Amino acid sequence: MINMIPYGKQFIEQDDIDAVVSVLKGTHLTQGQTVRDFEQAICEYTGAKYCLAVANGTAALHIAVAALDLPVGTEGITSPITFVATANSMLYCGVKPVFVDIDSLSYCLATEKIEKQINSHTKLIMPVHFAGQVCDMKKINKIAEEHSCYVIEDAAHAIGSNYADGSKVGNCKYSDMTIFSFHPVKTITTGEGGAVTTNDKALYEKLCTLRSHGITSDPAKMTQCPRPSFYEMHSLGFNYRMTDIQAALGLSQLKKLEKLKESRRRIIEIYNKELCGINGLILPFERKGLDSCFHLYVIKIDFKRLGKSRREVMEEFKAKGVLTQVHYTPVYTQPYYQKELAYKWGDHPKTEAYYEQCLSIPLYPTMTDEEIQIVINAIKDIIKI
Ligand SMILES: *Cc1c(COP(=O)(O)O)cnc(C)c1O
């Protein structure tokens, strides 16, 4: 039996395990000092003023949108090439996701097409830093300011990446909030986990109450005094807390982020060099001057010219021990979105042209030279036009 090479995999060392075990041996398991330490470390790493760690990236997206208190019927703009969670977080809050076609080079939403989708109901723009390469945040922020929209960056793929000005993703220089995910396929992991960063104190306080049932235990905020109560619920929140167990892993992982980024970049350089010039194959585009921590390596294959379907090609890769994945089916074509929001295939041509050809090949820090070579050989064998 051959060992399968997955498209992504977590990176766990003994010190990560030790960090988790030491919390398990202590007295406090759920949200406590270790979560606060993890949040502080994310602030220091990104440069954001405030950070809130939560149960997963979807929860981070949900409370980020909820914290804006947008009226039902508001519209929010996002990219169709993302995980469904991005757009779903708007639906949770009564906001209608409106999609903008992607840029055919970076596969991020096309900045120049955003304004065409803005109307009097539009109050939110949610760019997704696809595969770890940042969107043009300076321009997006300017459009948002001109139309009085909030900006939430979905940086689930992009921890460790830099903006064009060299500063770190998550510093919220160009947005109201940024979210991260620490799912095992992402660059650093806490098992399940996520975070929201912001520089806005009022938003931060709102996020804190939303994370924990809308409850406050701050005596200064109690309204029913002098009735003796230990906490009061002032809004409808959730239980989206992260545990200290997860935060211990997160703290340990964050220390390795630069090392993990370097390992990923090394593999990318090898792929770029070995795979260029193959007929019918398009390699990822990287905008000049960006220092991206790539989460995915997405190739485009001209399946029509190859004369095979993507499914057949994925099976051929699998037979050679290489697992591949599709990132992503355009969100608006999901059956739920077609049924509930009347979106349809054909709505966004560049998105669909990308989707027809995309395939993510293995990229994770512990890939051995032998595994990298197996992937390269498989591509050279399979993609012959
Ligand atoms: C993974 C991911 C999410 C959701 O994160 P979870 O931690 O899995 O809830 C959101 N947006 C994008 C772009 C993602 O890749």
Q: Are residues 284 and 211 in the same domain?
A: no
Q: Whose CA is nearest to atom 6 of ligand 1?
A: 57
What is the DSSP track for 194-210?
A: EEEEES-HHHHHHHHHH
Mean pLDDT of 165-177: 97
Is 4 domain-assigned? no
CA of 97 to the centre of ligand 1 (A): 16
155 in a structural domain: yes
pLDDT in tens, 351-366: 999 999 999 999 999 9
Check whether residue 209 and residue 306 sit in a common domain.
no
Encoded tokens for 320: 């050679």
User: Would the CB of 178 count as within 6 Å of ligand 1?
Assistant: no
Q: How confident is the model at residue 220 (pLDDT cuts 50, 70, 90)?
A: confident
The count of other CB atoms within 10 Å of the CB of residue 216 is 19
Is residue 65 a part of any domain in this protein?
A: yes
pLDDT at 107 > cutoff 90: yes
Pair (349, 290) in one structural domain: yes
Question: Looking at the domain assignment, is residue 1 inside a domain?
Answer: no
Please, how many CA atoms are within 13 Å of residue 203, restricted to the half-sphere of its CB? 25
pLDDT at 226 over 70: no
pTM: 0.97
Pocket test for ligand 1, best of 83, 240, 331 (most atoms within 8 A of CB): 83
State whether 239 and 339 are in the same domain. Answer: no
Which of 205, 234, 254 is the last residue before a domain boundary? 254
Which of the residue ranges 13-22, 91-100, 226-235 would you say has the lowest mean pLDDT? 226-235
* Phi, psi torsion values for 193, nearest 5 degrees: 170, 165
State which ligand 1 atom lies nearest to the alpha carbon of 82.
Answer: 13
* The pLDDT value given to residue 219: 83
Which among 7, 54, 58 is the best mutation to test ligand 1's pocket, defined by most ligand atoms within 8 Å of the CB? 58
User: What is the arithmetic mean of pLDDT over 71-89?
Assistant: 97
Which of residues 222, 254, 286 is at a domain's end?
254
Helix-then-strand count for the chain, H and E: 13, 12
Q: How far is ligand 1, taken at its centre, from the CA of residue 1, in Å?
A: 33
Mark whether 315 and 338 lie in a shared domain: yes
How large is the angle between the packed helices 369-382 and 310-319, nearest 10 degrees? 140
Q: Is 58 in the pocket of ligand 1 (CB under 6 A)?
A: yes
CA distance 296 to 149: 30
Q: pLDDT value at position 230? A: 83
Asked if 264 and 248 sit in the same domain, the reply is no
What are the b/e assignments for 26-59, b being 16+ CB within 10 Å? eeeeebbebbebbbebbbebbbbebbbbbbbbbb
Angle, alpha carbons 42-44-49 (nearest 5°): 85
> What CATH number is associated with residue 186?
3.40.640.10
Predicted confidence band of residue 385 (pLDDT cuts 50, 70, 90)? confident
Q: How much is the pLDDT for 2?
A: 75
Type of residue found at 307: G
Listed residues 205, 239, 254: the one ending a domain: 254
Domains identified in the chain, total number = 2
**Same domain? 370 vs 267:** yes
Do residues 114 and 238 both lie within one domain?
yes
Residue 114 lies in a domain: yes
Establish if 167 belongs to a structural domain: yes
The distance in angstroms from the start CA to the end CA of the chain is 30
Contacts (Cβ under 8 Å, ≥6 apart) of 371: 5, 362
Distance 240 CA to ligand 1 centre (A): 15
| 62 and 43 assigned to the same domain | yes
Ligand 1 site-directed mutation target among 81, 86, 107, most atoms within 8 Å of CB: 86
Strands (E), 203-326: 215-216, 232-233, 281-282, 297-301
Q: What is the CA radius of gyration of the chain?
A: 22
Q: Are residues 89 and 220 in the same domain?
A: yes
| Domain region containing 338 | 257-382
| 314: pLDDT strictly greater than 90 | yes
* Cβ of 188 less than 6 Å from ligand 1: no
**Are 320 and 374 contacting, i.e. CB atoms less than 8 angstroms apart?**
yes
pLDDT band at 332 (very low <50, low <70, confident <90, very high): very high
194 lines ligand 1 (CB under 6 A): yes
CATH number for the domain spanning 327: value is 3.90.1150.10
Confidence class for position 3, pLDDT limits 50, 70, 90: confident
Q: Is residue 296 pLDDT above 80, yes or no? A: yes
348 inside domain = yes
Q: Is residue 3 part of a domain?
A: no
C-beta of 333 in contact with ligand 1 (< 6 A)? no
Q: Using one digit for the tens of pLDDT, what is the confidence trace for 58-77?
A: 999 999 999 999 999 999 99
Whether 205 and 273 share a structural domain: no
Q: Tell me, yes or no, whether 33 and 165 share the same domain.
A: yes
DSSP string covering 329-377, please?
Answer: --GGGSHHHHHHH---TTS-HHHHHHHHHEEEEP--TT--HHHHHHHHH
CA-wise closest residue to 350 among 53, 79, 161? 79
